[in-house]
Structure 1
Amino acid sequence: MTDFLAMHFDWFADPTAWVALLTLIVLEVVLGIDNLIFISILTNKLPKEHQQRARTIGIGAALIMRLLLLATISIIVRLTDPVFSLFGHGFSWRDLILIAGGLFLVWKATKEIHHTVDPEDHKDTMMGDAVTMGIGAAIFQILLLDLVFSIDSIITAVGMTDEIAIMYIAVIVAVTVMLVAVNPLSNFIAKNPTIVMLALGFLLMIGMTLIADGMGFHVPKGYIYAAMGFSALVEALNMLARRRKARRSEEKP
């Protein structure tokens, strides 16, 4: 037991390891935002009695998936090795998974944007079908994106540190934050319909970023989250303006 602790927790006395841990926790939480937005939008389409269960299962599955991927770290590292080349670019399994996940996100976000713009024409939207098919269909779709985001998350962790214990702690803390934040975020999206369109725009942008990354065109995450933050700030100002306008209308005799 003493040898095990010495092997996996000898970094406790290293200040740089603590800096790496805190940095990785922040990165994992930020990477989890994409996952949270998707889960919130999808579960809000379910009947009320199924929403909490679907969110818990979705985030629980994200944690399990990340921990299982960490347990097979040697396999995950090899996912970045090219398996074939096309147009001068070597594609790895990670690239293919990111491209598939990006296409799925772009298709799903586009379908839901169409449904939001034209609510009468929603016969072929998977978001609409999720209510009909029930919680099982919603969880299946959440699991698909959990896999994509989990692989990206773990590869980020591997690039940050060599200490497996630091990776486990960062992932567990980040998913715990997701579990705490998912209900407030889902409720906020449900109460503010305009936020839905903004969130769908985020998913569309994230999907395109995943595709670009898989094709070998890396877009720095800082640019993506800066754009999301700016858009959220503009929407917050719009919401504030609408509320003040509504109050003034109520105060008028």
Structure 2
Amino acid sequence: MQDLLLLAQDPAAWIALITLIIMEVVLGIDNLVFISILTNKLPAESRERARRIGIGLALIMRLALLGTVAWIVQLTNPVFELFGHGFSWKDMILIAGGLFLVWKATKEIHHSVDPIDHQEDFIASSATNTFAAAIGQILLLDLVFSVDSIITAVGMTEHLPIMVIAVIVAVTVMLIASNPLANFIEKNPTVVMLALGFLLMIGMTLIADGMGFHVPKGYIYAAMAFSGLVEMLNMFARKKKQADREKGTTRH
């Protein structure tokens, strides 16, 4: 308690907390897009519960990992060397998570682009996409993003209470935003393809980071924001054309 009071009186601690909260919220966007797409494939009555359980388990996982910060930091130590590059456990986790995202996004894009020829396969995969399977996939990606998030937090501050508060606030924001984002994606089919493209890009970025080629996150989020803006303009244009058609039908 005394340590918390001392931190509360330290302006640098407040700056670190605000910065870390913003970073954690931004890093959580990737996870939230994946959760939204995955849970939208479940029956309507199970979607919200799956999102809440998935995000709630993500909070528990991150808080548990924060309790082992010393071990988490050691994940950055090289385990073996290949082609002159040392690979750590963190690198291998990022590569595995990136490959999973690329596989998942490619599979969903394939079904979206060519649903007729693969209708039977799609029905079979949907049948296996149970509540438990969705939670399992959410947890798998939660682990990847949690490790990345905590290592980022450790690099920004050495105070564990600040990390805990930032994680709780960020996950709370994810919990609040999950339903509106998932509903928006469901109601706008073209946004689904855009979101799958985001997942593909994020997956490739994770693989690149794991291979030692760091891609500044600012470039990734700038590209996502620009693509989102273009899609928003397309949505306005479609609504305007639809309204004009309805007016023309009414006049006739």
TM interval, shorter chain, is: over 0.9
Provide the C-alpha distance between the structure 1 equivalents of 2:156 and 2:67, rounded to a whole number of angstroms. Answer: 17
Aligned amino acid, residue 66 of structure 2: L
> CA deviation digits over 1:52-101, x for unaligned, max 9?
11101110011011000000111000000000000111100000000000
Aligned-residue offset at 1:49: 1.3
User: Secondary structure in 2 aligned to 1:90?
Assistant: strand
Structure 1 residue aligned with 2:101: 105
Does residue 161 (structure 1) correspond to residue 157 (structure 2)? The answer is yes
Q: Is the 8 A contact 1:37 1:199 kept in 2?
A: yes
Aligned amino acid, residue 173 of structure 1: V
Provide the C-alpha distance between the structure 1 equivalents of 2:127 and 2:105, rounded to a whole number of angstroms. Answer: 17
Aligned-residue offset at 1:7: 3.0
Match of 1:119 among 115, 122, 126: 115
Number of positions where the alignment pairs a residue of Structure 1 with one of Structure 2? 248
Structure 2 residue aligned with 1:137: 133
Aligned-residue offset at 1:124: 4.5
Aligned amino acid, residue 82 of structure 1: P
Match of 1:202 among 195, 198, 201: 198
User: Secondary structure in 1 aligned to 2:142?
Assistant: helix
Match of 1:226 among 208, 222, 226: 222
Q: CA RMSD in A?
A: 1.3
Q: Is the 8 A contact 2:91 2:211 kept in 1?
A: yes
Aligned-residue offset at 1:8: 4.4
User: Secondary structure in 1 aligned to 2:80?
Assistant: strand
Structure 2 residue aligned with 1:27: 23
Structure 1 residue aligned with 2:188: 192
> CA deviation digits over 1:154-184, x for unaligned, max 9?
1111011011000000000000000000000
Provide the C-alpha distance between the structure 1 equivalents of 2:93 and 2:128, rounded to a whole number of angstroms. Answer: 28
Does residue 67 (structure 1) correspond to residue 63 (structure 2)? The answer is yes
Structure 2 residue aligned with 1:95: 91
Structure 1 residue aligned with 2:40: 44
What's the TM-score once normalised by structure 1's chain length?
0.95
Give the direction of change, closer, same or farther, for the CA distance of 1:72–1:228 in structure 2 (3 Å limit).
same
Structure 2 residue aligned with 1:56: 52
Q: Is the 8 A contact 1:130 1:137 kept in 2?
A: no
Structure 2 residue aligned with 1:150: 146
Structure 2 residue aligned with 1:10: 6
Q: Is the 8 A contact 2:72 2:151 kept in 1?
A: yes
Aligned amino acid, residue 134 of structure 1: T
> CA deviation digits over 1:140-160, x for unaligned, max 9?
111110100111111111011
Question: Identity across aligned pairs (percent)?
Answer: 71
Aligned-residue offset at 1:9: 4.2
Provide the C-alpha distance between the structure 2 equivalents of 1:134 and 1:98, rounded to a whole number of angstroms. Answer: 26
Provide the C-alpha distance between the structure 1 equivalents of 2:45 and 2:246, rounded to a whole number of angstroms. Answer: 35
Provide the C-alpha distance between the structure 2 equivalents of 1:147 and 1:124, rounded to a whole number of angstroms. Answer: 29
Give the direction of change, closer, same or farther, for the CA distance of 1:128–1:8 in structure 2 (3 Å limit).
farther
Aligned-residue offset at 1:17: 1.1
Q: Which runs of 5+ in 2 are unaligned?
A: none
Does residue 239 (structure 1) correspond to residue 235 (structure 2)? The answer is yes
Match of 1:182 among 161, 171, 178: 178
Aligned amino acid, residue 147 of structure 1: L
User: Secondary structure in 1 aligned to 2:163?
Assistant: helix
Provide the C-alpha distance between the structure 2 equivalents of 1:67 and 1:149, rounded to a whole number of angstroms. Answer: 13
Aligned amino acid, residue 243 of structure 2: R
Q: Is the 8 A contact 2:42 2:129 kept in 1?
A: no
Q: Is the 8 A contact 2:58 2:139 kept in 1?
A: yes
Match of 2:80 among 61, 81, 84: 84
